[in-house]
Each structure stands twice: as structure tokens, then as C-alpha cells.
């Protein structure tokens, strides 16, 4: 049996135990919309939260083959955990040329302490713009349909603002960040709007 098969079996066994249909429905009806306890166990016991994070930053560096297996098993049970958004955020941060910034963000993601997501779609009437602000950046605008935005600690904003293009990281705790939940058809994949008001500090991830 290959390592991939072992991984598939381990994740499937975990989900059979932790994510029966009754539990999925219970989480769907909750305000949070995701199972934080299951997410913590996926991080600490199975290590799948950091599976695509480079090893030098505390991850397993297992690649997208492993991620595909885990995501497939999570989808099989409709598990309400923010794994897809997490994997996409890891890829965005890993592409950053600034090693110190990768070292600041990725260990927390790998350990499950930081829940990250990407925010791609701009609000039509208020697209995200960025400008230099001292030794950093300031972001203004709004993103819509942010996957798992309700529980995210860190937003990776895709910015297309003239010469400023790339990913910009915004901490949820930053002054000016507001998150409004959206009602969708799939309650296991909660989405949100993420307006970033003037004065929101951002870090360039590019």
C-alpha cells in the first residue's frame, strides 16, 4: 500500500468517526458554519492542515497529490472544514519571494493556529486598491464571495491595481477590516464579503 493510500485511509477513518451526516447537519445550522474541533484535530493529530506547507516552515511539504486525496475525502463526507481555502492561501503565500514574510505567516498556518483564505473577486463598485503607507501598504476596497471568510484570521487579497499586482495579506484583526456573511446554497462552504476600509494595513506577498 502506498503512502497516498495510507493517507486516504487515515483521513477516511477520521471522518467516519468525526463527521457522520448528523454532525454535518448540526454544523451547517450553527452560526460559525465550520467544525473548529475537527479542524484542530486535523492539524494536530493528522497533520493535514500543513500538508502543502514547505517543511522549512513546519509543514509536511506533501504536495498537491496529497492535498487532492484529502480534499476528495472531505468532499465525500461534505465535511464543513476550511481546507480548500487553506490550501489555496498556502500556495499564495508560498509564492512570495520574501522569505522572512513566508516565515512569519506559514508556520502558523501549518500548525492550524492561523486560518487563512484567498479573496479574489472584487466588489464591482469598490475594487481593492493599494498604496504605500510608510514602511508598508494600505488597502482599500472590498472583496466578495470569500470562501470560508467568516472564520478566517488572514485574508490573501488578489490585487489588480495598475502597477500594483499580486497578493496582499491582511490580518482580520487589522483596524478597518469588516466581514459580512453571505447566505448561499451550500451551507458547508460558507462565503462572506470582506470590505477593507481605508486605513487597513496590508503586507505585500509577491
Contacts of 187 (CB under 8 A, 6+ apart): 28, 29, 33, 80
pLDDT in tens, the chain (206 residues): 688 999 999 999 999 999 999 999 999 988 888 899 999 999 999 999 999 999 999 999 999 999 999 999 999 999 999 999 999 999 999 998 889 999 999 999 999 999 999 999 998 888 999 988 888 888 999 999 999 998 999 999 999 988 888 999 999 998 889 898 887 788 888 888 877 654 567 877 76
pTM to 2 decimal places: 0.91
Q: Are strands 154-161 and 116-119 parallel, antiparallel or unpaired?
A: parallel
> Residue with C-alpha cell 519571494?
97
Q: In the prediction, which pLDDT does 38 show?
A: 94
- What CATH architecture does domain 3-111 belong to? Orthogonal Bundle (1.10)
Q: In the prediction, which pLDDT does 136 show?
A: 84
Strands (E), 41-178: 116-119, 129-133, 136-147, 154-161, 164-171
Give the integer Cα–Cα distance in Å for 81 and 103. Answer: 25
Of 169, 153, 181, 189, give the one whose Cα is nearest residue 71.
189
Q: In the prediction, which pLDDT does 133 show?
A: 84
Domain positions in the chain? 3-111, 116-205
Domain 116-205: what homologous superfamily? Butyryl-CoA Dehydrogenase, subunit A, domain 2 (2.40.110.10)
Amino acid at each position: 500500500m502506498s503512502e497516498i493510500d495510507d493517507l486516504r485511509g487515515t483521513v477516511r477513518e477520521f471522518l467516519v468517526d468525526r463527521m457522520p451526516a448528523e454532525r454535518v447537519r448540526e454544523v451547517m445550522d450553527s452560526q460559525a458554519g465550520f467544525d473548529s474541533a475537527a479542524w484542530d484535530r486535523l492539524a494536530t493529530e493528522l497533520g493535514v492542515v500543513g500538508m502543502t506547507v514547505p517543511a522549512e516552515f513546519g509543514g509536511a511539504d506533501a504536495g498537491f497529490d496529497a492535498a487532492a486525496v484529502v480534499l476528495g475525502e472531505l468532499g465525500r463526507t461534505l465535511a464543513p472544514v476550511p481546507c480548500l481555502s487553506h490550501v489555496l492561501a498556502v500556495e499564495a503565500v508560498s509564492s512570495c519571494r520574501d522569505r522572512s514574510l513566508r516565515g512569519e505567516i506559514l508556520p502558523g498556518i501549518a500548525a492550524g493556529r492561523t486560518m487563512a483564505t484567498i479573496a479574489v473577486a472584487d466588489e464591482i463598485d469598490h475594487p481593492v486598491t493599494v498604496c504605500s503607507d510608510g514602511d508598508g501598504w494600505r488597502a482599500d476596497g472590498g472583496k466578495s464571495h470569500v470562501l470560508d471568510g467568516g472564520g478566517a484570521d488572514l485574508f490573501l487579497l488578489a490585487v489588480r491595481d495598475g502597477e500594483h499586482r499580486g497578493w496582499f495579506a491582511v490580518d482580520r484583526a487589522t483596524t478597518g477590516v469588516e466581514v459580512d456573511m453571505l447566505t448561499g446554497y451550500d451551507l458547508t462552504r460558507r462565503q462572506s464579503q470582506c470590505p477593507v476600509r481605508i486605513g487597513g494595513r496590508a503586507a505585500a506577498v509577491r
